[in-house]
Structure 1
Amino acid sequence: MTHDDIATQAAADFQAQFGRPADGVWSAPGRVNLIGEHTDYNEGFVLPFAIDRRTWAAVGLRDDNTARVTSTFSDDEAEVELATVGPDSLDGWSAYPLGIAWALGQNGVDLAEQRGFDAHISSDVPVGAGLSSSAAIEGAIVLALDERWQLGLDRPTLARVGQLAENEAVGAPTGIMDQSASLLGRRDSAVFLDCRSLRSEIVDLGFADAGLAIVIIDTKVSHSHATGGYAARRASCEAGAAALGVESLRDVGVADLDRAREVMDDETFRRVRHVVTENARVLATVRALRESGPLAIGEILDASHVSMRDDFEISVPQLDLAVVEAREAGAIGARMTGGGFGGAAIALTPIELVDQVTVRVSDAFERAGFTAPEIFTVTPSDGAKREF
């Protein structure tokens, strides 16, 4: 189905579920993080881009204070009263859309005075692949509610609302990168985000002009940011910042790493080293894209994966195999993307070698006895929008 077909189907499904037409259909994309992993909650730099895999939300206001949500990926229907909604009353997939309503309430919206809503959600963003299916849900819902409740919030504010929902309603201690990419993305470009100031710039990627494609290798090893590994890494970063007497690891440079080694244990040091050097790699990637183009960033992507594998220890054997085999098949650079402990790798690949990369990685997974990966290309795309 085309994206227009999916949007039309979402409206039809809403009619079937709720017995009335939707007010409209809104969509938001998943994202690929080109580089800058686990830097966002350390107030550092990230460089994600929105992708041509999206989530659609057909939404219609109600005449009472009730919110109901359904989806194509779950048989469960969730229902809450907006006046009393809170993190303790939310669980499962519905915590993402309903958590947005709660987070808007935390942003000054009087939920008791708002009309409730029905929402039906569909998506072609793979779940658990590290492509931020969660932020896509949040982006579509927050854009719809901002419009239908006539809130007039700007997109950086909507991104902060999405992050609050993910942190508190879902319980995943993520930074603001995913929501920012989903809401601020632009076709053929990446979002260069300073996670301290929340200032963003659009950086041209130039992949198509350079004859390059981004290949996604979904390992099918599902991950969850709400589980312990992600939270433990964040705690290590906070401990490292405290040991150095700084507000966050954003305040630590590569030149400070010798001192860092002296004041913390080896594991914490390696966590800190990843974040510090990853910030430097983001800046180097932006500079290379602007000065030399995308053919110049392959080695930086490779170095990022090594750092995540060895220092931050968030890779898994499937991701490591995907990266090695993609590079051997002709990708100019490859790395795992997303929070880690599963999910997907990306490979920046000459267009004429995409099939070669696909075959080689698939064969390697089969020989290793791993579940067959899903391999596809993505295109940098526009952010959240109203479809109709």
Structure 2
Amino acid sequence: MTSAVQQRSAAELFAQALRYENRADPYPLYEQLLQEPVVRLTDGSWLATGHREIGLLLRDPRISADRLNPQQQPIRKSLLIADPPRHDQLRQAVTRQFVPRIMGMRDHIDGLVTSLLDAHTSETPGELDVVGDLAYPLPVTIICELLGVPREDERLFGSLARRLTRGLDPVETQTEEDIHQLQQTRVELAEYLEGLIARHDADGGGDLLAGLMNDQSPDGPMDAIDLRVTLGLLLIAGHETTVNLIANGTLALLRNPGLLARLRNDPDLVTPLVEEVLRHDPPVQMSGRSTLADIDIAGTTIPKGARIRLLLAAGNRDPRRFADPGSFLPDRADNAHLGFGGGIHYCIGAALARAEAQIALTALARRLDSPRLVADPPPYRENAILRGPERLPVAFARLLPDPREQ
């Protein structure tokens, strides 16, 4: 068992990592937390930071994705926090409808990136907010198109999603006003989704919502509540992490000018580069689970009914797994990062997020002439779990036309 001193020091370090003043660089605190790969905190919860330990827990059937109370909540749960068999039923339905629709989308994503950057093309020095002008509108447009959300609703949906992501953060970081606003926003989203489903023509389109409404499985189609819960998850998860992935990737490139030049001349570099972003500066910093049985791990026992915080971003920098973990190295071999989680809850949209980030970062390298960060670090969002810049202003000498069109 961990000592009281270890519990207190780990709790203090973890609390510091959650504070906004450390949002731009929590990694020195994670490095200290890695000294004890699994530790009990003073509030009774457990913190896992080691890469091996997080991987084992993510794949352990004695772990529940419901991080609150897996056996006593009567509410309908999304596949994100559901356990088998319900998780498997929902995931299979989403996979049947989602995966075929994202195959072959690279050309469409490329076209959207081109049009978003074309709006700022200039032969004179200027400035681009990579978050507001590219990283945010790109995945929002894609997921709304996939799900059949009307273009005129994208701004409303985006506002709801941004407000809801605050609810993913640890409750100790939220004020009473935050919690009250979250409750109101959840009601707004539920009403919006119910209206969207009610007016959607299940027979008139090939979008994902129509597919889910008509999905045939041994368990039958989703009912109205499952459909709303699943739609809400896909709408929010389908873009929030990608915003951070593109922004964090841009930060890595501009902080490493040699890599920016390499990517400009060798577009194939983008594939391992995005994987290294997912390891070095992941868009999702942590996740949560709870235990269905006693689990012996790392020389200690996590008891049944315990809450576990999985600090993915710390595991991604575990020196027991990665050499020189603090350096950004796209040529890193065997990059088994935890950027998309693991086990049965591995991110269902990973392929789409990778494609969007790869295309966006390649275009930025190709078209930005002499880019530089206006502020380093940039201003960060309040969110501790979905960590990324609020804005990312980049100055440039010129924003070039797409060279492929010349």
Give TM-score scaled by structure 1 length.
Answer: 0.23
Report which of the two has the higher share of helix: 2
Q: RCO (CA 8 Å, sep 6+): is it higher in 1 or 2?
A: 2
Give TM-score scaled by structure 2 length.
Answer: 0.22
Report which of the two has the higher share of strand: 1
